[in-house]
Structure formats: structure tokens, C-alpha cells
Structure 1
């Protein structure tokens, strides 16, 4: 099943700068071959369900291994059964209207 998610992963107990931790997650997303869009307050990721959620797990494992004792994550998940809809499809639909 194809899924798109908005992921906001927040390491807790590591100080105020989160960018080094987010960079680690981006590297994982890239290595998994998933399409993504980095945003100011989260990252959109799309791909096959199992691959996307395995990627989220790997991000958690990596951030814990970098010293974060706690991680607070919020996700929005989107799936469709009638067609595979990518980020670019959604944006194009809105812009065309």
C-alpha cells in the first residue's frame, strides 16, 4: 500500500538545536530511496507503507543512538485505495484550481 506521511520528530533532552538530528533522519530517508520534502516544521515522506514505517523506526533508533533519551513524534498518514497519489499530484491539483 502506498502511503504519504508528514513526520515531525522531536528529540527531547538534547538542547535547543534539532538540526543535527533532523539531518540524520534525512540521510536515512535518502538511503531508503524514499521521496521526501523537508519543511520548516516537519518532513513529508512517501512510498510503500512498510518502507515508510521502517524508515520512521530507523530514524528513532538513530536519534536514540545519538544520545536523545526521549523522542516525541507526531505523524499524519494518508493512504488511498483508488489511486497512487504523490505529493506532486496533490500540489498540482490545488494549483490548477
Structure 2
């Protein structure tokens, strides 16, 4: 599966980059294929491992923020293992 998710700390002011960086650090340390852009972090793997990484990313932000918002979208496709990067590259090959 591929999960695109966004973790946003609430109640910490407008500057949230250092909080979000903690969530991204958790994802990168997971070793699972991932990609981060301005809106979402995408991560690929089996259901349990991906959801564990999302849970830990939220927990990392939750340690420092009084409230956390999570937006999550999942593409559940058993047996697929092409990752978030090839999907993005495919879209980029077609002119807009």
C-alpha cells in the first residue's frame, strides 16, 4: 500500500516546520520507500508497517504539541511494489 499523509501540530503558532520535521524524520528512519513534498509525505509498505510508521510520526509531533491533525489517504493494492517515486515520474512524463 501507499499512504499519503500530513501531520499538523495545532496550538503551537504559525511556524510548524520543526514539528513536521520530526514526523518526516520518523518516516525516513523507517527505511520504507518514501517521498515528501510541500503537502504530504508518501510511504509504501505492508499495511501494518506503514500504519506503525504513521502512528509513530504522529506521536513524535504529539510529544511537543497540545493537539495534532492527521490527514491520510491510502492506495491499497496488494502485490504492487513500484513505490511513490515511479508513480510521480510517470505523471511528470505527460505534458500538462
Q: Normalization by structure 1: what TM-score?
A: 0.82
Pairwise CA RMSD = 1.9
Classify 1:83/1:42 alpha carbon distance in 2 versus 1 (closer, same or farther; 3 Å).
closer
Q: Normalization by structure 2: what TM-score?
A: 0.83
> SS at 1:40's partner residue?
coil
Q: Does 1:77 align with 2:57?
A: no
Tell me, which stretches of 5 or more residues in structure 2 are unaligned?
none
Q: Does 1:34 align with 2:32?
A: yes
The structure where strand makes up a greater share of residues is: 1
Classify 1:19/1:96 alpha carbon distance in 2 versus 1 (closer, same or farther; 3 Å).
same
Shift of 1:4: 0.5
- What is the aligned length? 94
Shift of 1:76: 0.8
